[in-house]
A and B are shown apart, each in its own frame.
Chain A
């Protein structure tokens, strides 16, 4: 999406007509309708028009033009409730996907983005207060620190760089993808096609109400008070895997055997050292001990559960260059991952939400009540979404996509050496 000027021209300014016409001509939809809507959007911002009136005024026209009407002002008409299936199905019209509608609306909002930003309030608490043309900086709102991410699926290109960077950083075992990239098609019959397929990366959701910490029989899985990161104490965990079955997101990866980062598969270290030593000599380059003196960083030792730690070794490093960053965020070539304090209006996640007011926002599986701290903006998988290969494969990058295969291979090898 193009960068907006600080103060876009309003309908009264000179150059408005040219600007609107120029912007709207880039999309295939009705230029005149877009212009009228943009003008009325400014009237909402000025308080001359209510959102509900605005919504009703254009319902028929928008439906005729786009096939659906999913404008953010819809909530002004309805009693607010969680949207279970944000993706409308458009029968018999493959071209009219949610994304196209969003792109079209994007054209409209490009003309009046600053004012429409004030209209988008249907995502509840995470949304910053309406700002108008203000830069959105509010310093005096007290909040609890909760590290989280805003992930822009509209930008995601399914390149799998985040998965690879995470593996390099944390030295996770073969097939363990602490951040795994879903690639899906709303139409299961279609081959991968950038226009119709989408993707999102799935780290641990670092939930506000994590079910994994509830079920843990040793409190090895815990949510850190000061920054809300969900971690596993590698010295306490007994390896019962209850956290794994209780997590709705499938983000846990157990260390079934000795740590097996792909890089060290052939260096002979594991054969010559005992397990504890192998864990110490596993090339994980950072401090495993967190600032609260628990062993939480990097991949887990054998027999213990692991998952994304939000690169806790970086957060606790005391190095300002590393704090507030994660490996996946830095590796993302399209700036889709925005990591930081999700409650801080000045930090990356909320800043990105402000930059992308036009996009849908969701949490995965909201109905489970875990209240995840990963917010996705952009296209979401529908209930019927089907996985597709995507432009890049784990195997091409020297990784194993499905852990089961890696484990089976190793068991066969172990069996041979044992017999």
Chain B
């Protein structure tokens, strides 16, 4: 395994490279377009979306924004998956990408929340949910969601800062001068004596966040849908497990994409084939789990199923987007299995494309899940008496959703200028401040 040197790790924080400027420039322009679209929506209201009232209205209440919210929540599990692998399960091969994955978690959670804000009719009243939270948490799945997402965000940020402090202290004399006040705030009260305690705390934090995973993508998020008996397309106990499998799949795919991007941008060879082969194994397993869950869902939906469920499942199977998503997932899984059997087939470029396909397939699957349930709502006789729903997202919706991806890229680009994106420890004997047994 190639060791990362402090010079390599600190390189992104120095002079902006051409690639970095290009990323910031393009994503910055994208953000201007995104802001314009958002202002249009804020001024005119949600009428500029393709959403509508289900029932006599013939529309659907939730669409692209909620689907994207669910997708981002899933991606947020990438950080904890890698951190837990490194800290809790001692899979040290993933150490070079641990911090990248943690930053991805924080960014993804913020983008998930942003998509919820897009979806609100009165975003200015967002904090009403917090004011009334003590009462609503007893009954509203959305209040549970707010609780778990907030907890997840707080714990993730704490974990990130806790593991960042020794690094910032170690490189305090080598970072650009303008960053030092910021770093001094983050390392407030730091002494090398705290490292052992901090490492223990990080371990416990990783375990806690790990325990939250089945409560987030396998819990409160699917419960937003799976508990609603009104919507035959949503209701069911399988919603949680299958959404968890999908979420973890897209999380690992996104970790691969981001890791490959950093390797490409900074020639970081220490993010080596070991890292990618390890990720491929995990991704292949998760993609198979997702396909297996899908098999359960579709088979139970077509074989002697209740008529409403059967009609829904056939409508699903006939959707072109569903076929694309399924095809993408199957082809990707075949490639991943091939790489596991013959590691020489690994090509980081191809793997990145495959990961994009996986991530897009899961995005489509989640979007279909949200939309399809609402296109065929409620039960007979009402479902027959109402208009069948229709939905085509407007350019504003596409812009805001893509905007959240562009914003994530932009935030990543900024983060590389603010903090070291790889954990610095034992490979720098002169600066070593964390000689803990756990990491050796």
**What 5 pairs between A and B have smallest CB-CB spacing?**
A239-B121, A250-B55, A303-B121, A403-B57, A257-B47
In chain B, what residue has the closest Cβ to A244? B61
Most chain A CB inside 10 Å of its own CB: which residue of B51, B142, B230, B380: B230
| Contact across chains for A250 and B378 when beta carbons are under 8 A apart | yes
B interface bracket (residues with beta carbon within 8 Å of A): 35 or more
Q: List the B side residues contacting A415 at CB < 8 Å.
A: 48
Per-residue contact bits, chain A 237-262, to B (CB 8 Å; 1 contact, 0 not): 11111101111111111111110000
**Bound-state Cα–Cα, A217 to B125, Å:** 12
| Contact across chains for A215 and B378 when beta carbons are under 8 A apart | no
Is B177 interfacial (CB 8 A cutoff)? Answer: no
In chain B, what residue has the closest Cβ to A234? B122
Per-residue contact bits, chain B 282-317, to A (CB 8 Å; 1 contact, 0 not): 000000000000000000000000000000000000
Q: List the B side residues contacting A238 at CB < 8 Å.
A: 120-123, 125-126, 128-129
**Bound-state Cα–Cα, A391 to B278, Å:** 68
| Contact across chains for B56 and A403 when beta carbons are under 8 A apart | yes
Q: List the B side residues contacting A247 at CB < 8 Å.
A: 230
Q: List the A side residues contacting B230 at CB < 8 Å.
A: 211, 245-248, 368
List B39-82 residues whose CB lies under 8 Å from chain A: 40, 44-49, 51-59, 61-62
Q: Which of A89-97, A128-136, A309-317, A380-388 contacts B (4 or more CB under 8 A)?
A: A380-388
Q: Which of B123, B228, B381, B394 contacts A382 (CB 8 A)?
A: B381
Is A401 interfacial (CB 8 A cutoff)? Answer: yes
In chain A, what residue has the closest Cβ to B141? A215
Is B146 interfacial (CB 8 A cutoff)? Answer: yes
In chain A, what residue has the closest Cβ to B136? A217
In chain A, what residue has the closest Cβ to B44? A414
Is B1 interfacial (CB 8 A cutoff)? Answer: no
Is B374 interfacial (CB 8 A cutoff)? Answer: yes
Is B342 interfacial (CB 8 A cutoff)? Answer: no
Give the total number of A-B pairs whose CB atoms are below 8 A apart. Answer: 194
**Bound-state Cα–Cα, A304 to B390, Å:** 22
| Contact across chains for B52 and A403 when beta carbons are under 8 A apart | yes
- A binding-site residues for B, Cβ under 8 Å: 175-177, 180, 182, 184, 211, 214-220, 236-242, 244-258, 302-305, 364-365, 367-368, 380-387, 401-405, 407, 410-411, 414-415, 418
**Bound-state Cα–Cα, A418 to B394, Å:** 14
Q: List the A side residues contacting B44 at CB < 8 Å.
A: 257, 414, 418
Is B356 interfacial (CB 8 A cutoff)? Answer: no
Minimum CB–CB distance for B350 against chain A, Å:
40
Minimum CB–CB distance for B274 against chain A, Å:
45
In chain B, what residue has the closest Cβ to A184? B385
| Contact across chains for A250 and B140 when beta carbons are under 8 A apart | no
| Contact across chains for B122 and A217 when beta carbons are under 8 A apart | no
| Contact across chains for B58 and A403 when beta carbons are under 8 A apart | yes
Is B192 interfacial (CB 8 A cutoff)? Answer: no
| Contact across chains for A184 and B381 when beta carbons are under 8 A apart | yes
Minimum CB–CB distance for B213 against chain A, Å:
23
Q: List the A side residues contacting B378 at CB < 8 Å.
A: 248-250, 365
| Contact across chains for A251 and B55 when beta carbons are under 8 A apart | yes
Known contacts A238-B126, A238-B129: does B374 contact A407 (CB below 8 Å)? no
Q: Which of A245, A249, A380, A407 contacts B52 (CB 8 A)?
A: A407
Is B382 interfacial (CB 8 A cutoff)? Answer: yes
**Bound-state Cα–Cα, A149 to B388, Å:** 28
**Bound-state Cα–Cα, A215 to B374, Å:** 16
In chain A, what residue has the closest Cβ to B144? A217
Most chain A CB inside 10 Å of its own CB: which residue of B53, B125, B229, B394: B53
**Bound-state Cα–Cα, A252 to B44, Å:** 21
Q: Which of B47, B132, B381 contacts A218 (CB 8 A)?
A: B132
| Contact across chains for A365 and B379 when beta carbons are under 8 A apart | yes
